[in-house]
Structure 1
Amino acid sequence: MRRRPTLTAMDNKVHGTTMPVLELSLSSGESVLAQGGDVSWLSRGFDMHTSTGLGSGGGGFLGGLKRMIGGGQLFLTQYTAPAGGGQLAFAASMPGTIREITIDSADSFMIQNGAYMCSTPEIEISVGLQKKLGAGIFGGAGVVFQKLQGHGTAWVQLSGELVEYELQAGQSMLVHPGHLAMFRAEMPLEFATVKGIKNKFFGDSLFLAEIHGPGHIWLQSMTPDKLAAAIEPYLPDRGGDNR
């Protein structure tokens, strides 16, 4: 069977600004992987195959388990276009932006947990880094990055506005972990406590990630925690009497 060149992205278009939608146009036999339930709409005729082994680089169930440990789902679904081709769309779950990234043996990426949207079948999605940072960050849950590697194309959703930096060898930057949206996988990452800066909610010293060059980093202006904190005062009091 003739295969599509692995580094050529299928036709795609991003609609909207604040809450963007990724629309993919697939030719006959082309496929895309996504987590179950993440597709927003699609044309008729797609073949759908769900398995733990998809997106695991041949790792089968254990590969799917690694993906789940990294914050993803155990199962992925492969959508294959019918003879006449078809379209499918993915809507962002947070205000922000959608980026297309090309991945090969020289370019693998680490992305924030929850940023993965979809990819071509040759992309492997696995846990890249987990770090428990204590009660002062993310309620003690820590920070998780997923690793995207293989040969092909992936689309990621990043929160808020993006600021990009190209760090040179010997350069580093201190970043709040929630704002570090994506970086090249070969870049060293460390976590450190900044003494003298207290977390206003829990009293812990502030934890920051230190990312070292050379390499490219993508920083996001919004984090899920900050968005939740901003809207929390406007939510109904679940403990009260709403009658």
Structure 2
Amino acid sequence: MRDEIRGNPEFGVLHVTFEHAGEQIVAESGAMVARDAAIDMKTSLQGGLASALKRRMTAGESLFQNTFTATAPMQSMRLAPAPEGSIERLVLRSGMEVFLQSGAYLASTPGITLDTKWQGAKGFFAGGLSLLRAYGEGLIWFSSYGGIHAIDVGRQHEGYLCDNTHLLAFTEGLRYQVRKLSGLKGLFLSGEGLVCEFQGHGRLWLQTRNPGALSAFLHPFRPVGGGH
């Protein structure tokens, strides 16, 4: 299988070319843009009903995923995320794990397992109860709203703070806590909300935009009914 990411950073599209019949890619429901007509598609509850419901209820992922299988060499397809933004490719090897924020998962090869990781009480303050956990051997592609920036914590930086709404993904070598930037005054007056403070050794990915900020910006301009 060959893959190429086109259109980053604004309008990322994943272009996949299958080199052999029988090669597969698993994608989030609704991610397909186009494909060769002869590519087989099957929709299923990945991991069974219990696992799919858990991902849906705690991490906000869709219940169903689509598995695309090549029926002949050199067939191709295109996948894209719902929001405007970038796509990142990551090679996972045995023993590696990556944690994704809700909605970041786009696609993976069949050797990747998706699960959820309970965040505990800090999940309530971070805006989500669970993170999506990916492990196994193969490729995984995840996407952002806006551009993606990678930070190597423990090498470039001893510790790192990021706004919780801009957190996209991180590797298993990192630990974090959610806190206010500088007390209640900072929370309400600085324009910055809650932040995630990362320590340890690993890679952190940030997204440059967040849907909540866009919604707040657009809210004053929305049409208001006149009672007619």
- The TM-score bracket by the shorter chain reads 0.7 to 0.9
Of 188, 196, 218, 1:199 maps to 188
TM-score, structure 2 as length reference: 0.84
Distance 2:209 2:118 in 1: 21
Matched, 1:159 2:145: yes
> In percent, how many aligned pairs have the same letter?
27
- Equivalent in 122, 142, 149 of residue 111 of structure 2: 122
- 1:67 equivalent to 2:59? Answer no
Question: Residues 44-69 of structure 1: CA distance to partner in whole angstroms, max 9, x if unpaired?
Answer: 112222222x3x3xxx3222222223
Matches within 5 A, 1:66-215: 66-68=54-56, 69-130=58-119, 131-133=123-125, 141-142=127-128, 144-168=130-154, 171-193=158-180, 194-195=182-183, 196-199=185-188, 206-215=193-202
Give the corresponding residue for 1:41: 34
2:219 counterpart of 1:232 = yes
- Give the corresponding residue for 1:12: 3
Residue number in structure 2 paired with 1:5 = none
Say whether the 8 Å CA contact 2:105–2:143 is kept in structure 1.
yes
Count of aligned positions: 218
User: Structure 1-normalised TM-score?
Assistant: 0.79
Residues of 2 paired with 1:177 and 1:88: CA distance?
Answer: 33
Flag the 1:35–1:164 CA change in 2: closer, same or farther, 3 A: closer
Q: Deviations over 1:79-99 (max 9, x none)?
A: 101124421111232232111
Whole-Å Cα distance in 1 between the matches of residues 130 and 215 of structure 2? 18
- Give the Cα separation in 2 of the matches to 1:185 and 1:178: 20
For the residue of structure 2 that corresponds to 1:96, the secondary structure is coil
Structure number with higher helix proportion:
2
Give runs of ≥4 in structure 1 deviating > 6 Å.
none
The answer to whether the Cα contact below 8 Å between 1:48 and 1:79 also exists between their aligned partners in 2 is: yes
- 5+ residue gaps, structure 2, are none
Rounded to whole Å, the distance in 2 between the matches of 1:143 and 1:63 is: 16
Question: Displacement, 1:114?
Answer: 0.8
Structure 1 Cα separation of the partners of residues 6 and 194 of structure 2: 36
